[in-house]
């Protein structure tokens, strides 16, 4: 089983796009996305220094564009091949925008305008107070989280065993550095503020307005959310979660737990690659990884996809007719037990999934008529597994 992942801010390095831009098609696509977001991404991906591309307003569009164009190089005809082989997708922080566009929730052009405004809003919010982020490597997980909280910092990223990112004011980070948790190593991150904390909450309000104006579609394959590792199969919810994630912690540890629950055997990271596959090598033992860094790796990457990819349970189905399980657990049908032919109103509950952590409702956000139950009461379900097939209301057919 294959998962394709997109890295977040901090993964960019000076000149990482140079070998990719030798391909005329790649260069043309980058110039087009540069025009869409009104930022010279070709220049920043080849000539700019580390401090320049550390700027949030530049880094975020650069990361999303490079990931999307590299994915097109890997899958020249995504609609014909990619979604038959990609079983799961996820992105870390701003990488969620890349992943969402990659699986069809929004278009590449929508993604570039959105991420341009996301980067600007986060940069402006972060500039109000001198803040930053610092990776805490090693140490006892509970002791690390306790020390972060005691210093008035936030665990903005939980990337699994041995890597938590602390975020807050530069003053508090300096005090934390002077008295770190036992057996840890601290690494300042190349970001311009304390992202995924309350320091950038203002950006959430602004982006929420933009998001409401964007039309969405349901993902073409299973998509994990940074917020809790759940599979989210409603396009509108995907975008809403991406907006709120700006000021909420990234739980990459829970995303990796979902990958384990699904039985992922291979992880492919799109450019600028290396960060997430590095984490996976420590946390997902037995999972083979592939960091796609340069175009001369494309043939090997395609072989990796063929080796690990399976037929997606969503491929070949109109995805807006399916309700899926958000997590691994046991499915319980709603008390009124709607039967085949039942017409559901928007938001109607069809059941819930009981996981080790909590009970999660499964509702029909757009309503519809039940065509077929795909599981029964008490059945075990995996993340993203289809539960019930709906025929949309006539007024809702084709509605984004």
- Check which CATH number belongs to the domain holding 228 and give it: 3.40.366.10
- Out of 188, 219, 241, pick the residue that ends a domain: 188
| 302 and 173 within one domain | no
Catalytic-labelled residue, pool 34, 66, 93, 355: 93
More confident residue, 334 or 321: 334
Among 170, 188, 206, where does a domain finish? 188
- Number of domains within the chain: 3
**Is 94 in the same domain as 29?**
yes
Mean pLDDT of 281-295: 95
- Compute the distance between CA of residue 273 and CA of residue 94 in angstroms, rounded to an integer: 14
Asked whether residue 213 falls in the same domain as residue 296, the answer is yes
Question: What does the pLDDT look like over 307-324, one tens digit per residue?
Answer: 998 866 665 555 567 899
Domain, as residue range, for 176:
126-188
- As a whole number, mean pLDDT of residues 204-208 equals 92
In a domain, 257, yes or no: yes
In a domain, 223, yes or no: yes
Mean pLDDT confidence for 191-198: 87
Is the distance from CB of 207 to CB of 122 less than 8 angstroms?
no
Hey, what are 369's tokens?
């008529």
- pLDDT over 60 at 395, yes or no: no
- State whether 118 and 183 are in the same domain: no
* Helices (H), ranges, 200-265: 201-212, 235-245, 252-262
| 211/249 same-domain check | yes
pLDDT band at 36 (very low <50, low <70, confident <90, very high): very high
**What H or E segment, with its residue span, contains residue 43?**
helix 41-46
Is 66 among the catalytic positions?
no
Catalytic residue among 92, 196, 233, 366: 196
Distance CA 301, CA 385 (A): 27
Say yes or no: 222 and 132 in one domain. Answer: no
314 domain-assigned: no
CA 248 – CA 200 distance, rounded (Å) = 9
Question: pTM for this structure?
Answer: 0.87
């Amino acid at each position: 089983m294959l998962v394709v992942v997109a890295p977040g801010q901090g993964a960019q390095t000076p000149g990482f796009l140079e070998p990719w831009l030798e391909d005329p098609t790649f260069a043309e696509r980058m110039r087009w996305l540069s025009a869409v977001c009104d930022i010279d991404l070709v220049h920043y991906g080849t000539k700019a220094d580390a401090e320049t591309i550390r700027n949030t307003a530049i880094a975020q569009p650069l990361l999303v564009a490079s990931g999307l164009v590299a994915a097109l190089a890997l899958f020249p005809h995504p609609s014909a091949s990619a979604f038959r082989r990609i079983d799961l997708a996820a992105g870390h922080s701003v990488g969620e925008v890349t992943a969402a566009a990659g699986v069809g929730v929004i278009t590449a052009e929508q993604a570039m305008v959105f991420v341009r405004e996301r980067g600007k809003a986060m940069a402006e919010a972060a500039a109000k107070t001198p803040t930053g982020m610092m990776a805490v490597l090693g140490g006892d997980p509970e002791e690390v989280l306790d020390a972060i909280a005691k210093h008035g910092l936030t665990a903005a990223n939980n990337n699994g065993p041995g890597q938590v990112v602390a975020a807050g004011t530069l003053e508090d980070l300096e005090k934390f550095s002077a008295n770190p948790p036992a057996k840890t190593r601290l690494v300042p991150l190349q970001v311009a503020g304390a992202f995924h904390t309350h320091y950038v909450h203002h950006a959430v309000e602004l982006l929420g307005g933009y998001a409401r104006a964007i039309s969405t579609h349901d993902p073409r394959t299973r998509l994990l959310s940074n917020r809790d590792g759940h599979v989210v199969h409603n396009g509108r919810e995907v975008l809403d979660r991406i907006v709120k994630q700006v000021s909420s912690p990234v739980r990459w540890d829970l995303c990796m737990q979902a990958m384990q629950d699904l039985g992922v055997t291979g992880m492919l990271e799109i450019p600028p690659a290396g960060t997430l596959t590095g984490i996976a090598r420590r946390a997902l033992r037995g999972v083979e990884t592939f960091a796609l860094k340069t175009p001369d790796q494309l043939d090997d990457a395609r072989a990796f996809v063929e080796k690990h990819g399976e037929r997606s349970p969503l491929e070949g189905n109109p995805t807006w007719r399916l309700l899926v399980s958000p997590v691994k657990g046991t499915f319980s049908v709603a008390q009124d037990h709607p039967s085949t032919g039942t017409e559901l109103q928007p938001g109607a509950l069809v059941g819930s999934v009981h996981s080790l952590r909590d009970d999660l409702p499964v509702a029909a956000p757009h309503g519809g008529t039940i065509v077929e139950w795909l599981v029964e009461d008490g059945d075990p379900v995996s993340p993203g597994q289809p539960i019930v097939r709906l025929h949309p209301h006539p007024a809702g057919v084709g509605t984004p």
